Chain A
Amino acid sequence: MAHPLHDAVRGSLDNCVKCTICETYCPVSAATPLFPGPKYVGPQAERFRGEGPSPDDSLTWCSSCGICTHVCPQGVKIAEINSIAKAEMAAERGIPLRDRLIARPTLAGRLGAPVAPLANRLARNRLVRAAVERAVGVHRRAALPTWAGRTFQSRTRLRRQPPGRPGERPAVVYFHGCAANYYETHTAEMAVRVLEMQGLDVIVPRQGCCGLPLQSNGLYPAARHYVRRLAGSLAPYARAGHDIVSTSTSCGLMLKREAREILDMEDDDDLRAVSGRMYDICEYLALMHERGELRTDLLTPLDMEVPYHAPCQLRGHGVGTPAMDLMRLIPGLRPRQVDAVCCGVAGTYGLKREKYDVAMAVGEPVFGQVRESGAELSVCDSETCRWHIAEATGVPSVHPVAMLHRSYGLG
């Protein structure tokens, strides 16, 4: 059989009653007739997959946003079925160089960081982008991040405390992910300052990529390797009783749940230890607030209205919208949640030459609401979504901790 190790995922197709709720929520099938929808490529098509070649190319139009799984009232692991089928197809047909490159953000990060000014100039040069589009297949208008000169890791050597040696104050481990290490180092800095504001010591261990882009591009063996390595470096802290917080919605989710389910790594002890301690940073701060531990007394007014987009991966956390709860604590701030499910980029999907137009069509309702708000910035938890929304709207997009950071008067 195609997927000996994915019984729970494949077996969940038995739950499907064809109700079509997943298809009414799917942002991609609403935007393009090329994608026949999650029910079709998921529980329906899966019954036709077995020995032999992958029969259905339309599967590749799934963006892996995961909304289908979250809205399914019957518990069908639709997005997971699709991810696994895509990986099968990738293994069978070979994976394009483009997908191998964009699946390894550490590679681009490491190459670009030492020559950040040059890399950033090149990345914004239209001729270069056209050439890159032709040669590699990354769409010329797709949003790319800006390299920071120094990585966040190199700035935070002092925070590399070994596990099990508590300082004077309670300590929390920060998992920044690749984006905050190579590109948005300011988001990482703000996260650390906001956590410290709560009286927490922040430990930043050495850490690599979580493997999510590899997974979503079908490179499962490499993804597992990355997950094992990362879980290995975080597990000692988790076992020593430290919670781990992340500013990356999707990478945090990877460690919390997706790697175990999709990459079938339930048996990995390190990963299980990390999963049990993993929190999205807003989830973590909102929980502190519930316990009366959040320093709301130090929040100063911000008189502004901001549109907030809850990224698809946040649904996977199953924690509601803690960023909204936190922003409502800031006096004068009027956060308004965008009424649309997905911005379209879905990690690396919107970067691809052939997918870019679909990604833009999917995100249009989000972009429209951000533009119409007239706000000076928009807020979103997930980095690739922020880059995509900012590029599409011309309105800068920030992580929710940036609002707390500003309200705390930290800069």
Chain B
Amino acid sequence: MGCDVLVIGGGATGLGVVRDAAMRGWSAVLVERVDLGQGTTGRFHGLLHSGGRYVVSDPRSATECAEENAILRRIAADAVEDTGGLFVTTPADDPAYADRFLAGCAEHGVAAEEVPVAEALRREPRLNPAISRAFEVADASIDSWTLLWGNARSAREHGARILPYHWVTGVLRDGDRVAGVTAQDNRGHREVRIEAGFTINAAGVWAGQLADMAGCPGVTVVPGKGIMIAMNHRLVGTVINRCELPGDGDILVPIHTVCVIGTTDVKAPTPDDLSIARDQVQEMLDAGEVLVPGFRESRALHAWSGSRPLFTDERADGAQDTRHMSRGLALVDHLERDGVEGFLTITGGKLTTYRLMAETVVDAMGEQLGDPRPCRTAAEPLPGSEDGRPYWLGSRLRRQEEVMPDDQLICECELMQRSRLEAAAASRPGLNLDDVRRVLRLGMGPCQGGFCTYRAAGVLHAIGDADGPRADELLLQFLHHRWLGIEPILAGRGMRQACIDDWIFQGALDVEHLPVTPPA
């Protein structure tokens, strides 16, 4: 297999890069070691930054976020819900910060307007009534998977090939030039060799490992791990930020049917470390209590962690304090740095700035190739967003109303119909239920797979997509993965749900004695 441009990494950045390159007329291929958006992109809180968060601590990021926010609302309307955002000064915050915040917003191009406290409380009645100031900003929530699928579809329409479940096993070198990769195709069970005129490393938090493989050591990407907790329903309809220097648990993001409190920031030993410490769970719930009184008693649905790719260079000491490392994007020019041609690394950044990261690295590639071509991604909407209508919370329910009662409801909590599952299975051979979750939100609601997992596995079996043992395996694998995010937060009403789910799967279905090997 050969191409002009090979992109490594199927997160937002990689998909953005492959779309951008394909739109500029280069033949492009993307490899991803697992499913698209299974890394950092699929593990964030859902905030489309206004930039307000960084106006004091990281002004370059603030400006980047503000500009990209406006662009994404246009090109990815389908993935964005215009929730608006508030920065509020709680009794736990330094009241002096608010003026620095306003000044920073004005200086760095972030729109912000003070609103009366009464107005903020009218809009968000569950908000802590003891707040002293409130500022309205252009925060929004964004579904990273919708964004990804939009980019993937668009890239394919422009001729790109996207290869999930392709694990890079080696980087090909042709003297001083990177010439492609070898990869293990984990669905097709074969080794593939992809030769490329240019290779872009968009492996995010794994970018350092990739650079090592390419013989460009010393690209330090520190995994800044954060945990997030999704609450059972929206306690707020607006993104709520503490008006303070960025800290732990100071953002509450309403996205889809839930709201997400985030996040912590600690240096993880490896990018693959997804563990969730109990004390951090408590820390998040306590932090939520500052924003919404009664938060601790509200039902938590699921906890997860993801690692930010925090790029460090000689000028910053990234050894300990990931909280204060820049969120700005980082382009590593390996020709200049290592004398290696045909290879660029793009890392750092935020989901909000994924498009800018792609534009930056593809521009740099064009320059290096002596073939600069103009970028069009800021103007051309993603498929599904052509009408510019933003996502609306009620849309799934409205859709379900239209197909009811002819289409069987498989996931009741998140309203996923049988027809959509069947369509997903038809378009993606060999898919597992986690893949379905990322596309269709299977099992992401209150019962966390308690009622839909066996239905979905049964449907895949009924349509011939999975034989008996495979269906059993899919069932166990999904339950296992869901449990990883339920176990750390088990308490109260979530515990009752876990009990009824347990009775279904252990009592009625006896899943632990299915004649298949449970997944590791």
Contacts and interface: CB of A to CB of B under 8 A. Distances in A.
Interface residues of A, number: 34
A45 B232 contact: no
Interface size class of B (residues with CB under 8 A): 35 or more
A57 B400 CA distance: 11
A14 B233 contact: yes
A45 B397 contact: yes
A7 interface: yes
Contacts of A325: none
Contacts of B487: none
A50 to B, nearest CB: 5
B491 to A, nearest CB: 12
Nearest to B501: A17
Given A1-B237, A15-B493, A33-B405, A52 B394 contact: yes
B479 to A, nearest CB: 16
Contact of B237 (A7, A11, A14, A50): A50
A36 to B, nearest CB: 6
Interface in A14-39: 14-19, 33, 36, 39
A4 interface: yes
B376 interface: no
B401 A18 contact: no
Contact of B393 (A4, A51, A57): A51
A55 B500 contact: no
B67 interface: no
Contacts of A125: none
B129 to A, nearest CB: 12
Contacts of B236: 1
Contacts of B497: 17-18
B451 interface: yes
A50 B446 contact: no
Contacts of A4: 122, 125
Query: In this complex, which of B124, B233, B392 has the most chain A Cβ atoms within 10 angstroms of its Cβ?
Result: B233
A14 B398 contact: no
Contacts of B58: none
Interface string B114-140: 000000001111100000000000000
Contacts of B46: none
Contact of B124 (A1, A47, A48): A1
Nearest to B445: A47
A391 interface: no
B299 interface: yes
Contacts of B404: 36, 58
Contacts of A53: 394
B413 A44 contact: yes
Contacts of B126: 1, 7
A49 interface: yes
A252 B258 CA distance: 38
Contacts of A14: 232-233, 298-299, 493
Contact of B396 (A11, A33, A48): A48
B447 A1 contact: no
B412 interface: yes
A48 B500 contact: no
Contacts of B413: 18, 44, 47
A17 B401 CA distance: 23
B496 interface: yes
A270 to B, nearest CB: 25
A18 B451 contact: yes
B381 interface: no
A46 interface: yes
Given A1-B237, A44-B412, A74 B496 contact: yes
Given A1-B125, A17-B500, A48 B397 contact: yes
A364 B393 CA distance: 39
Given A13-B232, A47-B233, A74-B496, 10 more contacts: A4-B125, A5-B125, A18-B497, A44-B445, A45-B397, A49-B397, A50-B254, A50-B394, A52-B392, A52-B393
Top 9 closest pairs, chain A to chain B, by CB:
A55-B394, A4-B125, A14-B299, A47-B257, A55-B397, A48-B397, A55-B398, A18-B447, A47-B233
13 contacts: A7-B125, A13-B233, A14-B232, A16-B446, A18-B413, A18-B500, A46-B233, A47-B233, A48-B415, A50-B237, A52-B392, A55-B398, A56-B400
